[in-house]
Amino acid sequence: MQTISKKTKADVLLHNDVPVLTYTIHYPSFTSTCSSVTAPAISQFYEIQSRQAEKYCREVLYPQAVENAMYAKDNEFPFHSYEFLSDYDVTYNEDCITSLYTDQYSYLGGAHGNTLRQSQTWDFQTGDQLNLTDFFPDVKALNNTIFQVIKNDISNRMKDAPASYFDDYPHLIRGNFDMNAFFLKPCGLVIYYQQYDIAPYASGIPEFFFPFVDCTEDAASS
């Protein structure tokens, strides 16, 4: 079993005493009863990710924010401070398996921000990431069954909200499919697509649940 603690990197970056960028980066750190070796290595994975995200904020977003603030001041436009928020959600943590996703939200002064999702599922006995093929070992079934389920699910959703997906979603669900875009939940797994991959911004990050056939009713409700 894994114990998870939250770590945070955060700062408010100024230009001429004006806050132009605020960033908050939450990331997990693990201990585990399954192995004394794998937990520090997996924790290091997220520590490195957090450093990369902080570097991106300070070396890429901050200069952009300063340039935008100076342009707004020179042209007497309102300036909206940039924001970067990264946070994670643990969706499964049982025995030696932990699954989670991280959403990175960026607001760059436009009409709205954008969110990018990444996910990992870990085996703390081996230290390896599990792949979608670990749960769908039959590649042919992966190509046929998964896309058909997603297509049928979207078709049903569009009966209540006709504009919730792009018209060419049957093509997009294949073209934009990412083998790494999944996470576990009790009794199943969720496959997701990024914003704009198959649906408008208002639909957020589309998710599709695939239950495990051997799932018990008690586990499904947990």
* pTM: predicted TM-score of the whole model, two decimal places: 0.91
- 100 and 189 share a domain? no
Beta bridge partners of 90: 100
How many Cβ atoms from other residues are within 10 Å of residue 9's Cβ?
A: 16
pLDDT tens for 86-139 read 999 999 999 999 999 999 999 998 888 999 999 999 999 999 999 998 887 775
82-101-38 Cα angle (round to 5): 120
Show the beta-strand stretches assigned E in the chain.
2-15, 18-32, 82-94, 97-107, 114-123, 128-129, 182-185, 188-192, 207-211
Q: Which of 72, 104, 129 is the last residue of a domain?
A: 129
- 169 and 73 share a domain? no
Q: Which domain holds residue 84?
A: 2-129
> Which CATH number fits the domain that encloses residue 26?
3.30.565.40
- 123 and 51 share a domain? yes
- 8 and 107 share a domain? yes
> Which CATH number fits the domain that encloses residue 172?
3.90.640
* Count of the separate structural domains present in the chain: 2
Q: Which of 86, 109, 129 is the last residue of a domain?
A: 129
Q: Which of 73, 106, 129 is the last residue of a domain?
A: 129
- 40 and 119 share a domain? yes
pLDDT tens for 126-140 read 999 999 988 877 756
